[in-house]
Structure formats: C-alpha cells, structure tokens
Amino acid sequence: MIQGLDFTGVPAVVDLACMRDAMNKLGSDTNKINPLVPVDLVIDHSVQVDVTRSENAVQANMELEFQRNKERFSFLKWGSTAFRNMLVVPPGSGIVHQVNLEYLGRVVFNTDGMLYPDSVVGTDSHTTMIDGLGVAGWGVGGIEAEAAMLGQPMSMVLPGVVGFKLSGKLRNGVTATDLVLTVTQMLRKHGVVGKFVEFYGDGMGELSLADRATIANMSPEYGATMGFFPVDHVTLQYLKLTGRSDETVAMIESFLRANKLFVDYNEPQQERVYSSYLALNLEEVEPCISGPKRPHDRVPLKEMKADWSSCLNNKVGFKGFAVPKEAQDKVAKFSFHGQPAELKHGSVVIAAITSCTNTSNPSVMLGAGLVAKKACELGLQVKPWIKTSLAPGSGVVTKYLLQSGLQEYLNKQGFNIVGYGCTTCIGNSGELDESVASAISENDIIASAVLSGNRNFEGRVHALTRANYLASPPLVVAYALAGTVDIDFDKEPIGTGKDGKSVYFKDIWPSTEEIAEAVQSSVLPDMFKSTYEAVTKGNPMWNQLSVPSSTMYSWDPNSTYIHEPPYFKNMTMEPPGAHSVKDAYCLLNFGDSITTDHISPAGSIHKDSPAAKYLLDRQVERKDFNSYGSRRGNDEVMARGTFANIRLVNKLSNGEVGPKTIHVPTGEKLCVFDAAMRYKDGGHDTIVLAGAEYGSGSSRDWAAKGPMLLGVKAVIAKSFERIHRSNLVGMGIIPLCFKSGEDADTLGLTGHERYTIDLPSKITDIRPGQDVTVTTDNGKSFTCTVRFDTEVELAYFNNGGILPYVIRNLIKQ
C-alpha cells in the first residue's frame, strides 16, 4: 500500500497528470499512468489555526480552508476519479498516520484467500507510526512513491538492525512523550540513519499500543528508517478496541504464529542477534521536553530553568540565542484588547496540542484534560494572549474527551478543538494577535511555543517563536498555565489559586492511576466504529465540489495553486546520460543539521520573499498567500520558496540569518532564488556545500525538486538523511559525501571557489559508492564518495531522474 497526505498528494497528482501528458506527446498509451497498488490520500495537512478559543472553531476553520484551498481540493477530487486505485479521504477526517493506525492498517492482507503481511510506504516521514502496530512501513519521497505506484520496485541497501531492549515500567506521572523524547536522544546519539530499529524485552508488556505508536512515529527524528514493534497480544487487543472484527484478529494471529512472526511474551524468549544493541530501563525515564530548536535536544524538566538561562547566554546555535546580560530581564508591556499584558524572554505565546505523535495516544490526551480540570478547580486560567489550540488526529479523540467530561475543562483553558489534521507542528499555527506580534518584534523578545509535536526546527512553528519546545499534551497545558518556559516546576508556583494560595505543578499533575481510570472508562470500541463508518463520505463542502470527468488534466496557466511543471519539457526517448559538473559556483555553504524545512519551508510565505512577489504580481492579496505547503502544486511558487527559510544560516553571507546568499561573480547579496536565476541565465551550474545530517526532517520531495529547478547539480555534505539523499538522486542531483574527518572547513573551502566534479561519461563506468575527485579553480583537490547507493539509482541518474526513467520504461513495455 502507498499512502500520502494532501501536502504531498497534490504534487504527486500533479506529477502523474504531467506524466500522462508526456506519454501522450511521445505517442504512448496514457492509461499506463495508473497506480498498480492501492493509494490512500488523506487530506489532513490543511488546517490553518485561524480561529481559536471558540466553540465553533472547527467549523470556522474548515470554511476558511475551503475558501483558500477549493482549487487544491478540487484537483485532488479529480485525481480520485481520473486515476485507478486512488482513494481520497476528504478533509476533516484526521491525520493520515492516525487514520492508518486506527482504521486503514490491515496487519495481514487477505486477497481472495491469499494471506500476506501488510506493508506500506508513505509520502510523509511519519508513516513509521504504523510500525507500532507491527506493520512494516516507512516514509519515502513523493517522486519515489509515484514510481512505486507505477510498478517500479523500491531499491535500498540492506539495512543494519539495531536491537533496543526495554525493561521495567514507567514511573508514576511519566508519560509516553517523555519516553519517546528519551529514546529519540539515545538513538540519535547512537547513530541509526538508514537503519531499522526493533524494540523487544520484558518492558514491552508495559507499553500500550498507543505508547508504541508514539515511539514508532518519531523514527525520522531519531533518524531510523523505521522503529518496529512486532505483533504480540497487546497488538491484538488494540485491533479489537479499534473495531477490527474478531474473525479478522483471529486470522491475523493464526497467520503470524504459523509464520513465526508473532511474539508471545508468555513463552521463553530466544536471544536475538542484531547489528548493534541499546537498552533502556523504563523506570529511568523522567519528565522532559525537547528544544529549543531540535527534537533530540532533550531537557529534563527539573533542569529546564537552568537550561533556558544557558540558552540565553550561549552564542547563537542549536542551544543559544546570545542575548546580552543587560537585556535578559527585559519586559515588554502592551495592551491586549484593552487588557494590560507583558512578555519576557521565554514567554509562551503558542501552546498547541497537535500532531499524530501524541493525539493518537489516549493516555496523554486524557492527561491533558485532567490537568485542565485540576487547574480550573483551583482557579488557574491561561492568559488570553497565548494562542492555544487542540487539533486531534481523528474524530475518536473528540468522542472520548466528551465521554470523559474533560473537553469542557480544556475549552475553559482555551484548548478548543480547531480542526482534525496537522496544524502547529507543520507550521500552520496561523497569525498571532497583532498586539502580541508587535510586542515580540519591537522588543526583540525570544518568545516560546510549546507543542505536542515532533518537529521544532527553526522557522517551522512560527516566524516569531524562536524557542520551540516539544512536550506531552499535559505539559503543553501546564506551560500554557505558567505562561513561560523560564520556570522550575519543582520550586516555583505556576500561579495563584482562587483562594489566594500558590499553586504548584504537583497540584495539577494527574497520577498514572487517574489517567488509566479515565482511559478505561472513556475509550470505547464503538467510538472507532462510528467514526470510521463515514470516513469516506466527506462533508457538504467536499461533496459539492464539481470536477471534470476527463482523464487528462486541463492546466490553467493563470492558476497560482496548480501549475504544469517543466520536468518533462523536451523529453526524448533517449536518456541524457551521465554528466560531470564543471566550474560550478557554490550557491550556499551550510553547517550541520540543515533540515528539509530550511530547504523547502512548509509554513507562511514571508511578505518580502520572491514567492510573495510572484503572488502579488498575479493579484493575490497578502491575506490569501496561504502557506508554502498549500502551494506545492505550483512549481513557480515552490522554486521561489526554495531555501527561503527565515532562519537559514549561510556561511557565504558571513553567518547572517536569513534567506540570502552572495552571487560570487559580482559579490552582490541576493535572495537565494534571484542568485540562482542569475547563475542559470549566465549558463553556470551550481552546487551546495553542507555539514552533517543534511536533509533531516520531513520526507519533502520539494527539498530536491526546488534545488533542481534552481540549477543545483550536486550537494557535497558530511552526511545525508536517508530520504533526502534518495530524493536528490530521484531529481538527478548528485549527492556526494566528504571523507571521514573532512568537511568544507577542514579543507579550507569558503564557497567562493568554482567546483569541478569529474564523473565518467559512461554510466557503466560508475559504481555505487565509488570515490571521485573534486577540484576547485584555486588549486584545491579532494576526494568524495558518490552516494548513488544501488545500480537502480545509477539508472535514474542516467535518465535525468526517476520519473523520466519510469516513463521510458513504460513506453517500452
């Protein structure tokens, strides 16, 4: 099975429609461009948090989404009729990974009596959530998924498998989120990029299926291809809870037992052999959050105040903001709709219960409700200028929050349900109140966001929140109540109760037993059944969308949402062949941990960006810019949005923060897009220099498509994240790795040089993983490893990318 969501689904359907056009122009059968395997597209990434703190927030935000995205939604609806085997789950149903866990995942397929294990690849990196259910699944780039839809096998180097042994039991008050942030830090330190992680041990029996799914979900954050939990009795119990029939569950158990794929912890366990080993006693896990800029920078809750102080003092970096001592106690006073208000460094301005990572887990969601209830009873109230929101991953969450009576208290604290889908975690946090935004900007406040998400990279959550912390849903509520991350929860009060006494963290924090009782009484099988019986029926706004019946798409040249990309322009049946890179300029020179968010942002479109200029030139008002994520069907917008992250740090710009670079021939400082076009117009290739973990984060194919459209021919990095390296290959960009111990700095490369990468002219003379020599115009020479990892990837490169390769193969059939 192949799964996707609307942010990746739109460009995928654009590419498929474009491939049909290419087949037509080459005189071949356009019906060959039809998925050969089931494709599920769930429209979940489309909830912009505009309306909050309102009983009608869900409906209001949905109506705004349909106003903004009608063209995009219509295009996806057309795709569901124009292509076979394509199911589109309408907006408002939830997040694809949670829908997969609760409804779509089969565990074992039964096709006309033929039984075989379920497996899935998805166009989002958090597809790995399904590994918690014992289904092998991981994220791939959209272009790779498109090729797989059309019958292209997926190639990969056989991965190492890391065994992660769990023992013991989580202590009272410790959440699954605390556990996953601990696991993420451990695995990122161990080094698991491109590897499988399998969890095992006596501690498995102490983890609910939802806890396992939380850990599996964050595989991209710890770098693994997947974090796998084999099927056991806990899995079977969850399948029954979520409405799978007794007959289906019995079939699954019988098949897996017969094929030695079922783990029964009631029986003696054999020692497993793994490539490497890690172990964690669950009793050692402590409450924590992660941030302020990376998911694996875990901070124990008891150390948070000291860590925040260090971050203010440290030089600008992953753990530093370099705020001068004399400015650290600054207070920005302002009026919030007539009410006196103030912000300091560390003040929370966004508190969001969001993301499939946590909203799929009843224990942490009901835990958040219990925190809100205790706070209400003690007389605490979240400040009105903090933007609070609750965006469940499925309608089931609403049902059990209502059943428990806890949604009422979440509402009272401002955590009204704003929609069902990805929100703040993907950058759809919406605008801050103008008075809050002005107070932050005019006083240079390091404002904070606290969210129950999986990503907190710079510039992702909101342009004005430079400190972003990942936390469990109950901790999100606690920090919202405190109003700051600059607090020691053990020693300092969160606020003053209605009786005038100080209220501390321990006064509002629920016990593990309280949460377990709420889960037991509130999470019922009928909730899952009733939610998913109508999942594909849509809603009135979706059902009223009219779409053409043609199987060929009629491109509108004036559309700013859906545009025909140039990938197959002037394509011929003869592959272009391998190519070297000669005298290329360096477009950008990066350090470590450049994410796909840095390369291709998903959030808001800055008013002074090249993408904004493009939209304004086409009479799109600023209020209608929407987000980069919503405009991924338009290559003109996305090319201009490439390397447009406002927190980009480029060594060519002397470390200045922002989406600028130096046009080397003239020395001019330009927007990255403008510099790239200047190079292209002059007939010059470009390369990118980078450090370690280049391309970490989302499985975003636009992070490869965009650089290709800018004219980037190669990326030379210390290391690549798995999916991004694959995406670069898929778009015909050469990924190269510096030799161990070397990087741009040790080699004395500044980015002002011109680079020649000498590859053999015949593809048959290139081997996966071979060394090549890179030379510069100032006499430097160094060796790199070409990261074409398989023979199939070499074939893609020979064809100018994976999609041209697929088209040529289909025509030959």
Contact (Cβ atoms closer than 8 angstroms) between residue 633 and residue 561:
yes
At residue 255, the 3 state secondary structure works out as helix
Residue 374 lies in a domain: yes
pLDDT for res 649 = 93
Cα dihedral across residues 53, 56, 57, 60: positive or negative: negative
**How many separate domains does the chain show?**
2
- The string of DSSP codes covering 766-779 is --TT-EEEEEETTS
Same domain, 518 and 588: no
Same domain, 300 and 399: yes
Please report which confidence band the pLDDT of residue 391 belongs to, taking 50, 70 and 90 as the band edges: very high
pLDDT for res 421 = 81
38 preceded by a cis bond (ω within 30 of 0): no
pLDDT for res 423 = 82
Residue 744 lies in a domain: yes
Same domain, 435 and 519: yes
Same domain, 506 and 374: yes
Domain encompassing residue 789: 581-600+642-812
Q: Which residues pair with 115 in a beta bridge?
A: 110
CA angle 660, 688, 582 (to 5 degrees): 120
Same domain, 494 and 586: no
Residue 460 lies in a domain: yes
Which stretches of 606-719 are assigned E, i.e. beta strand?
660-663, 668-671, 686-689, 712-717
pLDDT, tens only, 269-325: 888 999 999 999 999 999 999 999 999 999 999 999 999 999 999 999 999 999 999
Per residue in 47-80, is it b (16+ CB within 10 Å) or e — as a string?
A: bbbbbbbeeebbebbbebbbebbeebbbbbbbbb
Residue 216 lies in a domain: no
Same domain, 428 and 309: yes
pLDDT for res 48 = 67
CATH number at residue 447: 3.30.499.10
Contact (Cβ atoms closer than 8 angstroms) between residue 738 and residue 592:
no
CA angle 308, 310, 316 (to 5 degrees): 100
Same domain, 521 and 587: no
Same domain, 470 and 593: no
Residue 120 lies in a domain: no
**526, 557, 591 - which closes a domain:** 526
DSSP 8-state class, residue 633: T
pLDDT(696) > 80: yes
pLDDT(474) > 70: yes
pLDDT for res 441 = 96
- The string of DSSP codes covering 384-451 is TTSEEEE--SBHHHHHHHHHHT-HHHHHHTT--B--SS--GGGT---PPPHHHHHHHHHHT---EEEE
Q: Which residues pair with 116 in a beta bridge?
A: 109
Q: Which of 461, 368, 382 is nearest to 422 (CA)?
A: 461
pLDDT for res 140 = 87
Same domain, 522 and 650: no
More confident residue, 96 or 384: 384
CATH number at residue 595: 3.20.19.10
Q: What is the mean pLDDT of residues 720-745?
A: 95
Single-letter amino acid, residue 484: T
Exposure of 576 by Cβ count < 10 A (0-12 exposed, 13-18 middle, 19+ buried)? middle
Q: What is the mean pLDDT of residues 643-667?
A: 93
The mean pLDDT of the chain is 93
Same domain, 662 and 729: yes
At residue 332, the 3 state secondary structure works out as strand
Residue 206 lies in a domain: no
pLDDT, tens only, 737-773: 999 999 999 999 999 999 999 999 889 999 999 999 9
Residue 703 lies in a domain: yes
Going across the sheet that includes 196-200, the strands are 226-228, 196-200, 161-167, 276-281
Relative orientation angle of helices 57-82 and 6-25, to the nearest 10 degrees: 20
At residue 333, the 3 state secondary structure works out as strand
DSSP 8-state class, residue 226: E
**Residues 774, 765: Cα–Cα separation, whole Å:** 17
Contact (Cβ atoms closer than 8 angstroms) between residue 433 and residue 70:
no
Q: Which of 644, 588, 646, 638 is nearest to 614 (CA)?
A: 638
Residue 95 lies in a domain: no
More confident residue, 434 or 602: 434
Same domain, 495 and 351: yes
Alpha-helical runs (H) found in 635-768: 635-641, 672-681, 702-710, 722-730
pLDDT(46) > 60: no
**Residues 358, 362: Cα–Cα separation, whole Å:** 8
Same domain, 476 and 363: yes
Which stretches of 221-354 are assigned E, i.e. beta strand?
226-228, 276-281, 288-290, 298-300, 331-336, 339-344, 348-353
Q: What is the mean pLDDT of residues 344-369?
A: 94
